[in-house]
Amino acid sequence: MTQTKCRVAIVGSTGYGGVELIRLLLQHPHVEITSVISSSSSGVPIADGYPHLNQIMMENLDGVDVAEMKEKADVVFTATPSGVSAKLAPQLLEAGLKVIDLSGDFRLKSPDVYSKWYKKEPAAQAYLDEAVYGLAEVFGAEVPGKPFISNPGCYPTATLLGLIPAVEAGWIDPATIIIDAKSGVSGAGRGLGLSVHYAEINENLAPYKLNKHQHIPEIEQTLGRIAGRDVAVTFSTHLTPMTRGILSTMYATVQGTHTEEDFIKLYREYYEGRRFVRIRDKGKWPATKEVWGSNYCDIGFAVDERTGRVTILSVIDNLMKGAAGQAVQNLNLMLGWDEGAGLAFTPVYP
Amino acid sequence: MTQTKCRVAIVGSTGYGGVELIRLLLQHPHVEITSVISSSSSGVPIADGYPHLNQIMMENLDGVDVAEMKEKADVVFTATPSGVSAKLAPQLLEAGLKVIDLSGDFRLKSPDVYSKWYKKEPAAQAYLDEAVYGLAEVFGAEVPGKPFISNPGCYPTATLLGLIPAVEAGWIDPATIIIDAKSGVSGAGRGLGLSVHYAEINENLAPYKLNKHQHIPEIEQTLGRIAGRDVAVTFSTHLTPMTRGILSTMYATVQGTHTEEDFIKLYREYYEGRRFVRIRDKGKWPATKEVWGSNYCDIGFAVDERTGRVTILSVIDNLMKGAAGQAVQNLNLMLGWDEGAGLAFTPVYP
Amino acid sequence: MTQTKCRVAIVGSTGYGGVELIRLLLQHPHVEITSVISSSSSGVPIADGYPHLNQIMMENLDGVDVAEMKEKADVVFTATPSGVSAKLAPQLLEAGLKVIDLSGDFRLKSPDVYSKWYKKEPAAQAYLDEAVYGLAEVFGAEVPGKPFISNPGCYPTATLLGLIPAVEAGWIDPATIIIDAKSGVSGAGRGLGLSVHYAEINENLAPYKLNKHQHIPEIEQTLGRIAGRDVAVTFSTHLTPMTRGILSTMYATVQGTHTEEDFIKLYREYYEGRRFVRIRDKGKWPATKEVWGSNYCDIGFAVDERTGRVTILSVIDNLMKGAAGQAVQNLNLMLGWDEGAGLAFTPVYP
Amino acid sequence: MTQTKCRVAIVGSTGYGGVELIRLLLQHPHVEITSVISSSSSGVPIADGYPHLNQIMMENLDGVDVAEMKEKADVVFTATPSGVSAKLAPQLLEAGLKVIDLSGDFRLKSPDVYSKWYKKEPAAQAYLDEAVYGLAEVFGAEVPGKPFISNPGCYPTATLLGLIPAVEAGWIDPATIIIDAKSGVSGAGRGLGLSVHYAEINENLAPYKLNKHQHIPEIEQTLGRIAGRDVAVTFSTHLTPMTRGILSTMYATVQGTHTEEDFIKLYREYYEGRRFVRIRDKGKWPATKEVWGSNYCDIGFAVDERTGRVTILSVIDNLMKGAAGQAVQNLNLMLGWDEGAGLAFTPVYP
């Protein structure tokens, strides 16, 4: 192949999102990883902290140095904790690098809303405006050629892909949306804490951050954009004793008369041609394991005529479609490659 | 102690509910287990199939024989699959035995509703009428002295204890109730099946029986009785990769202005003096592990002023408060003993 | 009952061993917990950090104060990290308290050996000499009336109960003993660390501390005492994705001709009358779940005539027979109560 | 690419080994899957039973029909239960097809030994003789151009790769080898059973088939071939509460004086150029998760000078290097492709 490979740097390589990006990009046909970066562990081999990378990636971690990134890379993925990218991404953009940001720092268009929910200093408005919200199957058309993509959060990805077609069609009342989301533990990252201590969360199911999760404004901003008016949702999150997977169970009152078959048809048409969204047949509902390790989002429906509500089920692998997988999908769209390049992972089952 | 012990027989001893009854009754101060019964394995020692009972219970399993039960026991627990008790319990009652039924056969007062949801032949109306629905903290006053108790289902127990005080007070609109329930795998019993095969459900979260679970009419019948009018709920169930535990996350629109503190106060007053229901402080939500192996039901709240909804969280151990534990509680109430006799289990943590 | 209850204090109440002691002692017929103590969290309710104790134990944690313990208690359990008891236990003994120590500080009789394996300063020789090693089924006869018991480690308990009858009988060659031990994650305690971070150890099996575990000298000291000569063992430990349970798989060359039946008979005679050791029938091997939540140690055998070796399998719940359960058993022996008082827990299954 | 793809059929496509072959071969650069075959489910879409394959593989399952396979395929993978391939593989070979067999039917060269351990009728001696035992890193040189490969068992793969270099070098005494193996539950396949029922094996560690596992003669036959004399091993297997992964912990007496560094050097030289075996540095031991979803076998060592023994640790993913991965590796070797074609999977972590 004579094509020059795109040179990629990954900031936050020692987090779970970063290490998943490495797994994906190592076998991407058009990409070469030229720098793995960690603010805390620079100078040591990444395989020291992640022995599964032995003999696969033996490079030392680089420190966070914009000039060095400019030297080594064309595109930078920033898989940093929130609050870090707000400052770093603008510098990378100013240096002429393309940036795909996996933190939450550029998803909300309003700095005030960001401050309220993230309790961090927001990025400058200009950059918030510039960032394209990369929910690939919905806003993917805005991505090609753009230098700066804000990758959606894990819960919003599962939730929005499950809600948007129905909201856009006016089939559900946005004021009635209730989202009961469940996540595997890897969503909390590699940082230590009692809530993700094995003996505490194994054989346990724990609700957390009810109505307070920072992904709420991201969901509401996007639904509002689709609905053309303000939307407020009830949103619950639960930690589930598994490593990967998000299931978002969503409830809403149906407007008009629409059967399960109608919903299936509506969604299949909406996602026509988008290979990573799979709509289940009538009476079949997706389980998280059926997308494990892959970039798929699987969606199913149950319409209850007794109550006039639809239940929508949406599952993803939180580290794939909910983070690194969709980020690679955005890279593909950004650079005009096939949307699925380097993402042809069949779910690992069992 | 000179008190004669109550002689107890357990039909369905080789199911998970039955074997949990054995664990509890073995150390109950007023009870002696005189017969462990299994239709499929009679004649062999129960410890053959449950080696954890070695040197604890070495008895052979008896067959299902009403006359023999009459000979050996005062009270019979029927922990059978649905459809079996419908026929057996009336025979036991006719023989003069007291019966606590853990199957679903006597929970619904309408044989038609039973037939529709259970797809089995219903019990005779007279016995449906006679059975006291033993949701101990709500209807416990009806239990003393009665010969026939129908023990509530696992999902209904968690759900109803979480909803009833608010419904009774008129603080939530029954028409808006949505129940997102999650259960550990032991709720499916010891019967083999692909959905409970280890490699299929480990690291997996799977919705099932949406709007079709046979516990729905039980919840609706009871809420209707409290509300004084028909109630229809949206009810979703999910299989979670853990052995024990149910978390019911419930949503409803608040009627009037009631804060989280108000709900806490209301529920604490409602459950005053009932030791097995614990209401969490403001901002604290229960996790399933916090009641593991015990008879507690822990309840917490989140009121969202933005949407006018309350989220109610209720957790139980499905084999304890959701089955055997509440059955023993009903035995205690039936015979006039202390409600908590033989149930002083601190949750096993971690 | 007119008997005055024994007043008990627990140092290290916020560790897993401490909180398990609380669970056991709360329902012990002869004991009253009068002080729960934590060096790090004194002044706050223990239920703050352990919500499963809500409405069960609402006391505030006390600080570590010898005079206060003397005031409040007759017996002190020290469930502290190693290095702490070495200093504290002597003070408690000097104050006239009885002490049951769950740390490793008094198990090894040689301060030099302790220093080498624990990398901590050893206790004074006089106290090392005074401490009775409380492996209840083997050395229990030494416990009654003694003020100071050193409770065995979790791995040594499973391992020694599995090896001692055969070593004492001369049926296996001590020089050939190889121990492959596996533990649930709770054995590592509540302290945070990457090796016990949920996403790292779930769906994982990880060897650690090969030939370096601090329980090795405890095993060798005890086997040496039984064999009457120095014994060195090969000892491997593995972290298993479960919360509780130890399985010790032990290999040794058989001396003389002894069948599986012979081993079963030998062990049943050795443990005659000791209810907490259960020897399995021929061809049956114990699994960890069969003792979960109980004080049992279950043992099974496989003799391989092709290689002349015996494989001995021994399982315990590491927090029960491997820590708090055996500590209560030692309390019972120390004070002349029935060995099983407060320990009649049937294993929780499933 | 103008190369014609190799057409592949998979018999036993609905087992875990078969479905893993599908995952691998779907993205193999030189292969096209032309038939997925199941004796029990022919005529229905494979995605019906495996929803993770929705929109990935929508083909109906074919029945077992040699003529049809001859029509459709060049190479057949037989991932059948033992006893089936013994009859089927010879027919396929006679029809001129190439066969890679994942059952155990052609691993043992002696029909008598096969009958004794597998309790099935053995294949004809001529086919046992013809089958090349495809332990790729050891006997891979025998594979190219051969029509019939017998793929090694999961336990033997982990065990033999861990033992062979030391046995061949004469560094360990074959008569002292003890193998303590632990496996995830997927190794037992998709067939239902109480031992792999979720509630029974979750939070459990269960020994099984001690000294009786049918993989013992395969290990002994191969070690005997390397050592040049009969070898008998002690071999224990344990079921571990995880889906994938095998850890084989092996013990042997060191002959001569060899340090940990010596073993590391010996093994690195032995496996020089074989990318799928990774030897850990001194003091580092592999965990199963570090090879999860990949074709790697990671090996580490601990030499204990006190006892003169070496402990060798070897981990694989049982469905990859222990089954489908190595089968694809053998396909690559058979047809002269790069050994790693289609196998460039970085382990999925976490």
Q: Are D188 and D239 in contact (CB under 8 A)?
A: yes
Please report which residue ranges of A241-343 form alpha helices under DSSP H: 260-270, 325-334
Nearest to B193 by CA among B239, B236, B154: B239
Quick check: B284 and C51 CB within 8 A? yes
Q: Indicate if the alpha-carbon torsion angle B265, B271, B275, B279 is positive or negative.
A: negative
Residue C261 has pLDDT above 60, yes or no: yes
Q: How many domains does chain D have?
A: 2
Q: Are residue D119 and residue D178 in the same domain, yes or no?
A: no
- The residue of chain A with its CA nearest to that of C187 is A199
Beta partners for residue D235, in sequence order:
D179
Beta partners for residue B313, in sequence order:
B249, B300
Quick check: A196 and C197 CB within 8 A? yes
Q: Are residue C24 and residue C85 in the same domain, yes or no?
A: yes
Please report which residue ranges of chain B form alpha helices under DSSP H: 16-26, 46-49, 66-72, 85-94, 111-118, 125-130, 136-139, 154-169, 198-201, 216-227, 260-270, 325-334
CA distance A165 to A161: 8
Tens of pLDDT, residues C45-62:
999 999 999 999 999 999
Residue A341 has pLDDT above 90, yes or no: yes
pLDDT at D219: 98
Q: Are C325 and C307 in contact (CB under 8 A)?
A: no
Q: Are residue B58 and residue B179 in the same domain, yes or no?
A: no
Q: Chain C contacts of D184, Cβ < 8 Å?
A: 203
Judged by a CB distance cut-off of 8 A, whether residue D242 touches chain B is: yes
Residues in contact with C127: Cβ distance below 8 Å, sequence separation at least 6, in sequence order = C89, C90, C93, C106, C148
Among residues 112-131 of chain D, which lie with CB inside 8 Å of chain A?
A: none
Beta partners for residue D236, in sequence order:
D180
CA distance B277 to B171: 20
At how many degrees (to 10) do helices D216-227 and D111-118 cross?
150
Structural domain includes residue A334: no
Q: How far is D25 from chain B (nearest CA, A)?
A: 22
Closest by Cβ to D56, choosing from A55, A203, A346:
A346
Confidence grade of residue B267 (pLDDT, cut at 50, 70, 90): very high
Length of chain C: 350
pLDDT at A3: 64
Residue type for D80, please? T
Structural domain includes residue A137: no
Question: Is the peptide bond between D350 and the residue preceding it cis, with omega within 30 degrees of 0?
Answer: yes
> What is the strand order of the sheet D297-304 is part of?
D206-208, D234-239, D178-183, D246-253, D309-316, D297-304, D277-279
Q: Are residue C203 and residue C284 in the same domain, yes or no?
A: yes
Backbone angles phi, psi at C101, to 5 degrees: -100, 125
Judged by a CB distance cut-off of 8 A, whether residue A205 touches chain B is: yes
Q: Are residue A165 and residue A314 in the same domain, yes or no?
A: yes
Structural domain includes residue B100: yes
CA distance B284 to C48: 10
Q: Is A162 exposed, middle or buried (0-12, 13-18, 19+ CB in 10 A)?
A: buried
Confidence grade of residue B3 (pLDDT, cut at 50, 70, 90): low
Residue D59 has pLDDT above 80, yes or no: yes
**Which range is least confidently modeled, B63-67, D38-42, D274-278?**
D38-42
CA distance D90 to B136: 67
Over residues D47-71, mean pLDDT = 97
pLDDT at B1: 42
Which residues of A participate in catalysis according to the annotation? 154
DSSP state for residue D323 in the 8-state scheme: I
Given the residues D33, D154, D179, D333, the one annotated as active site: D154
Confidence grade of residue C9 (pLDDT, cut at 50, 70, 90): very high
Residue A78 has pLDDT above 70, yes or no: yes
- Chain mean pLDDT for chain C: 97
Given the residues B24, B154, B161, B223, the one annotated as active site: B154
Q: Are residue A108 and residue A183 in the same domain, yes or no?
A: no
Over residues B252-257, mean pLDDT = 97
Q: Are residue A174 and residue A288 in the same domain, yes or no?
A: yes
Structural domain includes residue C149: no
Quick check: D197 and B199 CB within 8 A? no
Residues of chain D with pLDDT > 90: what percent?
99
Structural domain includes residue A143: no
Judged by a CB distance cut-off of 8 A, whether residue A47 touches chain B is: no
Q: Indicate if the alpha-carbon torsion angle A185, A188, A190, A195 is positive or negative.
A: negative
Q: Are residue C175 and residue C287 in the same domain, yes or no?
A: yes
User: Of D97, D130, D163, which residue constitutes the final position of a domain?
Assistant: D130
Structural domain includes residue A336: no
Candidates D16, D190, D194, D197: best to mutate against B (most CBs of B within 10 A) is D197
Q: Are D350 and A16 in contact (CB under 8 A)?
A: yes
pLDDT at D1: 43
Residues in contact with C78: Cβ distance below 8 Å, sequence separation at least 6, in sequence order = C11, C12, C84, C85, C88, C89, C92, C99, C100, C101, C102, C103
Q: Are residue B240 and residue B122 in the same domain, yes or no?
A: no
Residue type for D116, please? K
Q: Is C105 left (phi over 0), alpha (psi -120 to 50) or beta?
A: alpha
At how many degrees (to 10) do helices D154-168 and D260-270 cross?
110
C-alpha separations of C132 from B42, C120, C221, C270, C315 in Å: 48, 21, 14, 21, 24
Quick check: D349 and A278 CB within 8 A? no
CATH number of the domain to which C210 belongs: 3.30.360.10
pLDDT at C26: 97
Strand bridging mode D75-78 / D31-37: unpaired
pLDDT at C63: 97
**Domain extent for D92:** 6-130
Q: Chain D contacts of B239, Cβ < 8 Å?
A: none
Length of chain B: 350
Report residue C145 CA to chain centroid gap: 20
Structure-token match 């489908």, residue found:
D324
DSSP state for residue D123 in the 8-state scheme: P
Judged by a CB distance cut-off of 8 A, whether residue C55 touches chain B is: yes
Residue A2 has pLDDT above 60, yes or no: no
Strand bridging mode A148-150 / A98-101: parallel
Q: Are C137 and C143 in contact (CB under 8 A)?
A: no
Residue C1 has pLDDT above 70, yes or no: no
Q: Are residue D162 and residue D121 in the same domain, yes or no?
A: no
pLDDT at A1: 42
Structural domain includes residue B111: yes
Strand bridging mode D178-183 / D246-253: antiparallel
Structural domain includes residue A203: yes
Instruction: Please give the angle made by the CA atoms of D211, D217 and D219, to the nearest 5 degrees.
Output: 95
CATH number of the domain to which D33 belongs: 3.40.50.720
User: How many interface pairs between B and C have CB atoms less than 8 angstroms apart?
Assistant: 79
Q: Which two tokens stand for residue A222?
A: 């996007």
Q: What count of other Cβ atoms lies within 10 Å of the Cβ of residue D54? A: 22
Confidence grade of residue C348 (pLDDT, cut at 50, 70, 90): very high
CA distance C127 to C178: 31
Q: Are C100 and C132 in contact (CB under 8 A)?
A: no
Tens of pLDDT, residues C208-258:
999 999 999 999 999 999 999 999 999 999 999 999 999 999 999 999 999
Over residues A196-205, mean pLDDT = 98
Over residues C121-131, mean pLDDT = 98
Is residue B248 helix, strand or coil?
strand
The predicted complex's ipTM stands at 0.97
Over residues B218-231, mean pLDDT = 98
Judged by a CB distance cut-off of 8 A, whether residue A203 touches chain C is: yes
Quick check: C190 and A186 CB within 8 A? no
Residue C343 has pLDDT above 50, yes or no: yes
CA distance B282 to B309: 16
Q: Are residue B192 and residue B302 in the same domain, yes or no?
A: yes
Q: Are residue C84 and residue C218 in the same domain, yes or no?
A: no
Quick check: A210 and B309 CB within 8 A? no
- Chain mean pLDDT for chain D: 97
Residue D3 has pLDDT above 70, yes or no: no
Residue D69 has pLDDT above 60, yes or no: yes
Quick check: C199 and A196 CB within 8 A? yes
Given the residues C154, C169, C223, C266, the one annotated as active site: C154
DSSP state for residue C74 in the 8-state scheme: S
Tens of pLDDT, residues D138-186:
999 999 999 999 999 999 999 999 999 999 999 999 999 999 999 999 9
Tens of pLDDT, residues A121-177:
999 999 999 999 999 999 999 999 999 999 999 999 999 999 999 999 999 999 999
Confidence grade of residue C3 (pLDDT, cut at 50, 70, 90): low
Tens of pLDDT, residues A34-59:
999 999 999 999 999 999 999 999 99
CA distance A191 to A79: 14
Q: Chain C contacts of A188, Cβ < 8 Å?
A: 199
Q: Which two tokens stand for residue C98?
A: 């009885």
Q: Which two tokens stand for residue D128?
A: 């046992």
